[in-house]
């Protein structure tokens, strides 16, 4: 059975206080809201990137489509211009002139259809390029947000890490005054009890599990020597007696 002087047992409460604070700081470090915000923004940025690829591909396809439409229009325009010039110059036989005249009508209609198609592609391309510009602007905005949230997160992590280092140093000082056997028991219990290995016995209640002592426990604890290391019957944690224990 482990025994320890009362003052050594009291030191366990200091060690436990530092361990509790270290656990709180570790939890705070893991659950900073900035972590979730960076993840949300990262997913948003990824979605924008995916949409940008699609918009860029669509714009590129439309540029090729426009180039073809422009080439088709230009081909007809050249032919109309050439035929018109030959008519005006009177080159060729009367039959040739008549054929050229008859061809100009369908060519004009064809030119009009192709120019309408060209205009429609231009309008679609303008819409695609506008959307691409919007996405690029959104990406810049999200990048700026990520940078700002990351800056805040890193600053908070630095503050937490500084406090953790201070707590670790203070814990080391507190541990130095605890006998090895008592400390080993405390660590073993703490590992299996949610981070709490020792608790104060306050007004006949274990502050580890918050349960009141039974009359049998009270009698047993009263009979125990000052150097006896008490254990809660319910949670198994070390119970440290103080003037407020109610024994």
Q: 230-231 and 205-206 as β-strands: parallel, antiparallel, unpaired?
A: unpaired
* pLDDT for position 34: 96
- Percent of the chain beyond pLDDT 70? 90
* pLDDT exceeds cutoff 90 at 9: yes
Give the pLDDT confidence score for residue 50 in this predicted structure.
96
Q: At what angle do helices 6-30 and 180-192 cross, to 10 degrees?
A: 40
Specify the 3-state DSSP secondary structure of 91: coil
Q: Is the pLDDT of residue 43 over 70?
A: yes
Listed in sequence order, the residues at least 6 apart from 36 whose beta carbon sits closer than 8 Å to its beta carbon are none
Highest mean pLDDT among 73-77, 146-150, 208-212: 146-150
Q: Enumerate the CATH 1.10.287.1700 domain ranges in the chain, comma separated.
A: 32-166
Q: How confident is the model at residue 77 (pLDDT cuts 50, 70, 90)?
A: confident
Query: What are the DSSP E strand ranges found in the chain?
Result: 198-202, 205-206, 230-231, 238-241
**Fold type of domain 32-166:** Helix Hairpins (1.10.287)
Q: Does the pLDDT at position 41 exceed 70? A: yes
User: 94-175 and 6-30 are packed helices; what angle lies between their axes, rounded to 10 degrees?
Assistant: 170
- The predicted model scores a pTM of 0.74
User: For 146-198, how does the pLDDT look when each residue is reduced to its tens digit (9 = 90+)?
Assistant: 999 999 999 999 999 999 999 999 999 999 989 999 999 999 999 988 899 99
Q: Which of 7-11, 69-73, 81-85, 88-92 has the lowest mean pLDDT?
A: 88-92
Q: What is the mean pLDDT of residues 19-26?
A: 96
Least confident of 28-42, 61-75, 139-153: 61-75
Coil, helix or strand for 202?
strand
CA dihedral 143, 146, 147, 148 (to 10 degrees): 120
């Amino acid at each position: 059975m482990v025994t320890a002087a009362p003052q050594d047992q009291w030191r366990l409460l200091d060690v436990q206080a530092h361990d509790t604070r270290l656990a709180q700081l570790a939890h705070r470090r893991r659950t900073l809201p900035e972590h979730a915000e960076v993840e949300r923004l990262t997913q948003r940025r990824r979605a924008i990137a995916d949409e940008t690829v699609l918009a860029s591909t669509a714009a590129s396809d439309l540029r090729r489509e426009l180039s073809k439409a422009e080439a088709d229009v230009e081909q007809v325009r050249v032919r109309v211009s050439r035929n018109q010039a030959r008519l005006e110059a009177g080159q060729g036989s009367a039959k040739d002139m008549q054929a050229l005249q008859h061809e100009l009508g369908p060519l004009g209609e064809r030119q009009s259809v192709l120019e309408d198609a060209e205009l429609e592609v231009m309008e679609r391309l303008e819409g695609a390029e506008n959307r691409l510009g919007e996405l690029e602007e959104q990406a810049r905005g999200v990048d700026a947000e990520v940078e700002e949230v990351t800056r805040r997160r890193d600053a908070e992590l630095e503050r937490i890490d500084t406090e953790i280092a201070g707590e670790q140093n203070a814990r080391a000082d507190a541990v130095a005054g605890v006998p090895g056997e008592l400390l080993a028991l405390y660590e073993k219990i703490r590992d299996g009890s949610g981070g709490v290995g020792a608790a104060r016995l306050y007004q006949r209640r274990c502050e580890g599990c918050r349960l009141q002592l039974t009359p049998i426990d009270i009698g047993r604890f009263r009979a125990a020597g000052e150097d006896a290391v008490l254990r809660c019957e319910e949670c198994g944690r070390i119970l440290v007696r103080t003037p407020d224990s109610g024994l």
